Structure 1
Amino acid sequence: MIRLLLVDDHPVVRAGYQHLLEQGGDMTVVAQGGNVDEGCVLYARHAPDITITDLSMPGPSGLELVRRLRERAPDALTLVFSMHDSDMLVQRALELGARGFVSKSSAPDCLIDAVHAVIGGRRYLSPDLPQRLLKGILDAPGFESLTQREFEIFQILSRGESLADCARSLHLSPKTVSNHQSLIKDKLGIGTTAAMAHLAIRHGLIQPVGC
């Protein structure tokens, strides 16, 4: 039996995934969480075979969950299931250690296929995504050009937090965060913090206010 952890901030959506995944009889959902922190706690408590996570959730995105789980357990298997599926976002998820990426616009069976592929030691992208991404090929620079530290800072600042707040969260000096911010803007070709937020929303890393 394949033991699964689901992390998505919508309980009704999680219930639908659970029904879909368990109908074949070879999978069981052992726990469900609504954000990254809950996902980390539940992973430690239940040690699932695979963690399936959305990307856009309150607080840190699902990419942060992928990173934390790989940091905690290098052999952790994670699968991203998201409506946000730009090339840059898919590539970033794979770079951080996700074993697969399934677009929510895919046929339902794709999620089942993805679980079987990942548990079998293979990487998986749903058919509607460019399979070249598995080889780490992108046509243009973007999130993949950021270091892990820069990407963490990008996510924090794009949520509207100040340089000082970001510095405290990451145990850095405000000047260091400011220098990273300048590098991030240069790499992404944007000039303002507002542009960072728009980019993060467009790629599903944060939710728009009111959602």
Structure 2
Amino acid sequence: MIRLLLVDDHPVVRAGYQRLLEQDGEMQVVGQAGDVDSACALHARHEPDLTITDLSLPGSGGLELIRRLRERHGGQARLLVFSMHDSEMLVRRALELGARGFVTKASAPECLIEAVSRAMAGGRYLSPDLPARLLHEPGRAAEPAFDALTQREFEIFRLLACGSSLADCARALHLSPKTVSNHQSVIKEKLGLSTSAAMAHLALRHGLIPVA
């Protein structure tokens, strides 16, 4: 039996995933979470075989969840991304952080089942609507300037571009406001940006944040 943790901020969506995944009797959902902190707590409690997470979560988001779980549990933390986002840059970042695969919500239901099986067998999976080359070149960004950002800086960039305040970012990432402010200055320098509006425009252009 494959034990799963589902992470998505919509309870109805999680219920649908659970029905899909448990229908053949080979998988069991042992926990559900709607945010990063709850997901980390449930992962520690249940030690699932695999965590399936969306990227759009309240606060710090799915990339931060991947980073935290991989940092705390190493290779024991298997993760899949199941998200409406299909930006190549987000796919690459998720794979760099250690995700075993990336399935878009536009995919056929059987793609998620196949992704779970592939991940549990030690492989990696991308849904058919994503370029297969992303599995082989995860470090190459569509915007060269983004290569200069660390994973932490990239996550802070996304939060700030979405309109989060420095205090919001600090709370979401368990950092001090001063640390986030310092990161913001470095991010702007690396990307050659001077305003928050420019950060938001760049993020929108590359599909890194949802369109309002």
Q: TM-score range by the shorter chain?
A: 0.7 to 0.9
Q: In the aligned structure 2, how far is the partner of 1:43 from the partner of 1:151?
A: 24
TM alignment of 1:75-154, pairs within 5 A = 75=75, 76-135=77-136, 136=138, 137-141=140-144, 143-154=146-157
Tell whether the 8 Å contact from 2:87 to 2:208 is kept in structure 1 after alignment. no
Q: In the aligned structure 2, how far is the partner of 1:41 from the partner of 1:206?
A: 27
Give TM-score, length-normalised by structure 2: 0.85
State the Cα deviation string for residues 157-190 of structure 1 (Å, max 9, x = none): 3342137974995247x4x655543442354454
Selected match of 2:166 from 152, 162, 169: 162
Change in Cα spacing, 1:206 to 1:36, as seen in structure 2 (3 Å) is: farther
Structure 1: runs of 5 or more not aligned: none
Q: In the aligned structure 2, how far is the partner of 1:67 from the partner of 1:165?
A: 16
Q: In the aligned structure 1, how far is the partner of 2:168 from the partner of 2:15?
A: 39
Secondary structure of the residue that 1:74 maps to in structure 2?
helix
Secondary structure of the residue that 2:48 maps to in structure 1?
coil
1:70 aligns with 2:102: no
Q: In the aligned structure 2, how far is the partner of 1:115 from the partner of 1:186?
A: 40
CA RMSD of aligned residues (A): 2.7
Identity %: 64
Deviation at 1:27, TM superposition (A): 0.5
Moved more, 114-123 or 192-201: 192-201
Alignment size in residue pairs: 206
Q: Which residue of 1 aligns with 2:60?
A: 60
Q: Which residue of 1 aligns with 2:24?
A: 24
Change in Cα spacing, 1:131 to 1:48, as seen in structure 2 (3 Å) is: same
Higher relative contact order, structure no. (Cα contacts within 8 Å, ≥ 6 residues apart): 1
